[in-house]
């Protein structure tokens, strides 16, 4: 089973993606309406996965402005408060130094097919880092996992808690990854390993 990957230009998938997102909403996550503002500003904020025309899952990756990066590091800006003004437009991606991993969701994470969807999304994320952000001075990835599964995933990817800034702020638990050459090589290896679950990536030709 393989999946077609898209950016936010594939708007016909939005209604199904919104239904998937509602299963994972919490006080610390952005609403589908907020996310739609992100996608309008920059379609590369979204990677969605479909199989035979049906939406199966998505991941949100936000290229942060310098101000937004500082506010997130200082625990002032929470995910649900991120607006399009905090996100770089496509033509500004070459300036991007930090990305915020706003989350990943699939229809049913207990299903084997959906585990493959997660693998396809990860392959797409790493492909996007290597291509869409190829000329950006990218240094940091941030994340705020709100589920046990999400926490395990980002720990596996190499994120670590910003413990020296551990501040209780509405449940926000900030993690960071420094994008070293070693980490880039690890991601490239995963991208190639999971590529068998990807049937197409249409953002390269949109």
44 within 8 A of 5, measured Cβ to Cβ: no
pLDDT in tens, the chain (206 residues): 899 999 888 877 777 877 777 666 554 566 777 888 898 999 999 999 999 888 898 999 999 999 999 998 888 888 888 999 999 999 999 999 999 998 888 886 566 678 899 999 999 999 999 988 989 999 999 998 877 788 888 889 999 887 554 455 444 578 999 999 999 999 999 999 999 999 998 865 44
* Phi, psi torsion values for 172, nearest 5 degrees: -65, 130
57 within 8 A of 132, measured Cβ to Cβ: no
Angle between helices 181-194 and 112-131 (to 10 degrees): 130
Q: How far apart are CA 122 and CA 180, in angstroms?
A: 18
8-state DSSP, 52:
T
Maximum Cα interatomic distance, the chain, rounded to a whole number of Å: 46
Q: Helix (H, G, I), strand (E, B), or coil: what is residue 110?
A: coil
Nearest CA to 157 out of 172, 142, 171, 169 is that of 142
Q: Residue 121 is encoded by which pair of tokens?
A: 């999304």
Looking at residue 27, its pLDDT comes to 46
Rounded to two decimals, the pTM is 0.86
Q: Residue 83 is encoded by which pair of tokens?
A: 């607006």
Tell me the HSE value of 79 on the side-chain side, using a 13 A CA sphere. Answer: 28
63 within 8 A of 45, measured Cβ to Cβ: yes
Q: How far apart are CA 45 and CA 87, in angstroms?
A: 9
Output the CA–CA distances (angstroms, integers) from residue 107 to 17, 23, 33, 134, 158, in the order listed: 9, 9, 19, 31, 25
Helix, strand, coil fractions of the chain, as percent rounded to 5: 50, 20, 30
């Amino acid at each position: 089973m393989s999946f077609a990957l898209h950016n936010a230009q594939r708007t016909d998938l939005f209604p199904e993606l919104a239904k998937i997102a509602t299963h994972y909403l919490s006080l610390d996550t952005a609403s589908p309406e907020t996310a739609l503002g992100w996608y309008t500003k920059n379609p590369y904020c979204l990677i969605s996965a479909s199989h035979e025309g049906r939406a199966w899952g998505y991941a949100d990756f936000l290229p942060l402005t310098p101000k937004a990066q500082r506010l997130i590091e200082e625990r002032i800006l929470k995910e649900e408060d991120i607006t399009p003004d905090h996100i770089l437009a496509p033509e500004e991606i070459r300036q991007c130094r930090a990305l915020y991993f706003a989350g990943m969701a699939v229809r049913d994470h207990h299903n084997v097919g959906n585990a493959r969807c997660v693998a396809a999304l990860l392959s797409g994320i790493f492909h996007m880092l290597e291509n869409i952000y190829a000329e950006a001075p990218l240094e940091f990835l941030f994340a705020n996992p709100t589920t046990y599964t999400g926490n395990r995933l980002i720990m596996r990817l190499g994120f670590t808690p910003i413990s020296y800034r551990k501040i209780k702020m509405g449940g926000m638990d900030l993690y960071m990854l420094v994008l070293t050459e070693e980490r880039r090589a690890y991601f490239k290896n995963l991208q190639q390993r999971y590529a068998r679950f990807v049937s197409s990536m249409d953002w390269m030709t949109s």
